[in-house]
Structure 1
Amino acid sequence: MTPRVKRALHLIPAAAALVAAMAAAPTTAQAAASPYERGPDPTEQTITAERGPFQVATATVPANSASGFNRGTIYYPTDTSQGTFGAVAIIPGFIEPESTMSWYGPRLASQGFVVFTLEPFSVLNFPDDRANQLLAALDYLTGSSSVRSRVDASRLAVMGHSMGGGGTLRAAEMRPSLQAAIPLAPWHLHGDWRNVRVPTMIQAADNDFIAGVGNHAQPFYQNLTNAPEKAYLLFENYGHMSWISANTPIAKYSIAWLKRYVDDDTRYSKFLCPAPGAPSSTFQEYRHTCPD
């Protein structure tokens, strides 16, 4: 046997081991299906925790800081090692101050979002006024706020309660570049949302006597015929004001929706699809287009 043949035979085991290692190693796509994934792999415990994996700081935005909205508070992750974050603006409902939405700030920001909770110009503002304020707040966040370098301007979302929920739907209709919308017990006199082209999760209460689901949330969902994805969560034994104080199921599904559509993070699909069984102790009804 020639020396060249002997050397070739010695290389065979090493080559086989290399091939096996390459087959076993995760690809980049497997390691991170989305470049916007932030934080560790989620579990039921992490998504329902009062605080997520990110430390949070706050910045107060006083009145007259910019045009188009009144004032508010920004909650943001202090971590700068993972790049920029998606952002969400949140506005309360009729006769509600910003403080009713304040619990969403640290809860969502600690999961990897920049969150801007707003005080409306007037607690009497109607939904379309609130829509304009939500969009102006997002423009401020990405354009001139103290945290603008932390925000990815291409990954933005809106949320709101009651008339703020109606404003959320209108904002999504006005700005189709948004990545997600979450109307909470939405109220609006307009019911045709066929022009909304933003992934939208409507959350509703079975005991809502202010924005009754038969006239608001349910037909709103049905009319979202052009939304690329949509969901309808009818919570069991909830009332119209269930969204103004800390609530684990509300937080869980809001986080999952934002993660899935603002961050394109399919690791959170398991919390949305298949839809949880209903009726149950949590949901009277749950509908979802479930693309995954």
Structure 2
Amino acid sequence: MFKIKHTLGALSVSLSLLALASTAAHAVQNGPAPTLGAIKADGPYAITSQAVAGNGFGAGTIYMPTAAGKYALVAICPGFVSAQSTMAGLAKRLATHGFVVVAISTNTLFDFPSSRATQLLAALKTVSALNTGAVAGKIDTTRQAVSGWSMGGGGTLEAAGATPGLVAAVAFAPWDTSTTKMKVNKVPAAIIGGTSDTIASVAGHSQKFYDAIPTTTPKLLAVIEGADHFFPTKASEPTSYTNISWMKRFADGDTRYSTFLNGNDAALASFSSNGPF
């Protein structure tokens, strides 16, 4: 089967100006100049972890660089009937590249996307207010982002649609029954799906969500050839490096990572975006 890669046209003038303003507002370069090989591996930061009690969400584990500095905060949510631990691989890898990442447990394993959206936002609020433990003083509260898998991915897109102050969102194999909040989303959103996903098929979920997000919002849809619904639990590629690159580009405003968001990967069955970013 031929692999089809489609990139939409250039961003409008208004979006370009918005992107430039956003980049100028929080342009941070944490770490050395990136290479594809480097972002497919653990990053340059040694990390540590800290438990956080739930306050509007189940509980969480925070992963963060041991080095002093201010880092963007990312909350990541698991899928339906799935534990916090399923997101640990992606969370740890992202933290090694210069982020504070909280992997959450949901209030119940059966919470639907709208509840997971609320819990992601609650986790950001709780963690950004911490002033004890290893995370104290390491969060730039002006740069907060969300991510998640399956129903956690649906919750990610709902949280982004409801919270324009967020700086980035990444949804892995997202599942949801509604696109209402996605239609008003202003937060740069990347969606990653798999051709062999029979639980949240690309046609039934990811593609619909991508299409619903306004064309004035930076967005990306990468579809991995042969990937099933559980690919995000393995922190495999190109999932992990796309996640890192999106967060670097929009949570840090680091344009050095733009080159890794062009769909040039043989593992992809298809790629759509309104870049370049």
Q: Which segments of 5 or more consecutive residues in structure 1 lack a partner in the other structure? A: 1-31
Other-structure match for 1:52: 43
Displacement of 1:225 after TM fit? 1.2
Aligned ranges 1:188-199 → 2 under 5 Å: 188-192=176-180, 193-199=182-188
Determine whether 1:112 maps to 2:112: no
Displacement of 1:227 after TM fit? 5.2
Aligned ranges 1:1-292 → 2 under 5 Å: 35-49=27-41, 51-61=42-52, 65-80=53-68, 83-144=69-130, 146=132, 147-192=135-180, 193-225=182-214, 228-273=217-262, 275-276=263-264, 280=266, 282-292=267-277
CA RMSD of aligned residues (A): 1.6
> Per chain length, whose mean CA-contact separation is higher, i.e. which structure has more relative contact order (CA < 8 Å, sep 6+)?
2
Q: Residues 84-134 of structure 1, C-alpha deviation per residue, up to 9 Å, x if partnerless?
A: 000110010001001111112220100000000011111100001100110
Displacement of 1:170 after TM fit? 0.7
Displacement of 1:173 after TM fit? 1.0
Aligned CA distance change for structure 1 residues 174 and 231 (closer, same or farther; 3 Å): same
Equivalent-residue separation in structure 2 for 1:115 and 1:189 (angstroms): 27
Equivalent-residue separation in structure 2 for 1:216 and 1:66 (angstroms): 29
Q: Contact 1:196–1:227 (CA<8 Å) still a contact in 2?
A: no
Equivalent-residue separation in structure 2 for 1:232 and 1:145 (angstroms): 37
Other-structure match for 1:3: none
Q: Residues 235-277 of structure 1, C-alpha deviation per residue, up to 9 Å, x if partnerless?
A: 100000111123131111000000000000001011113x326
Q: Which amino acid in 2 is paired with 1:67?
A: N
Displacement of 1:148 after TM fit? 4.2
Q: Residues 130-168 of structure 1, C-alpha deviation per residue, up to 9 Å, x if partnerless?
A: 001100000011112532410111111101110000000
Q: Contact 2:147–2:153 (CA<8 Å) still a contact in 1?
A: yes
Q: Residues 72-91 of structure 1, C-alpha deviation per residue, up to 9 Å, x if partnerless?
A: 100000111xx300011001
Equivalent-residue separation in structure 2 for 1:235 and 1:199 (angstroms): 20
Q: Contact 1:229–1:290 (CA<8 Å) still a contact in 2?
A: yes
Q: Give the 3-state SS of the residue equivalent to 2:238 in structure 1.
A: helix
Max Rg structure? 1
Aligned CA distance change for structure 1 residues 226 and 145 (closer, same or farther; 3 Å): farther
Q: Contact 1:141–1:148 (CA<8 Å) still a contact in 2?
A: no
Equivalent-residue separation in structure 2 for 1:107 and 1:160 (angstroms): 15
Q: Contact 2:153–2:172 (CA<8 Å) still a contact in 1?
A: yes
Q: Residues 167-224 of structure 1, C-alpha deviation per residue, up to 9 Å, x if partnerless?
A: 0011001111111001111110002421111000001110111111111100110110
Q: Give the 3-state SS of the residue equivalent to 2:243 in structure 1.
A: helix
**Identity across aligned pairs (percent)?**
39
Count the aligned residue pairs: 251
Q: Contact 2:77–2:87 (CA<8 Å) still a contact in 1?
A: yes
Displacement of 1:290 after TM fit? 1.3
Q: Contact 1:230–1:289 (CA<8 Å) still a contact in 2?
A: yes
Equivalent-residue separation in structure 1 for 2:93 and 2:55 (angstroms): 27
Other-structure match for 2:8: none
Q: Which amino acid in 2 is paired with 1:90?
A: I
Aligned CA distance change for structure 1 residues 173 and 40 (closer, same or farther; 3 Å): same
Displacement of 1:226 after TM fit? 5.0
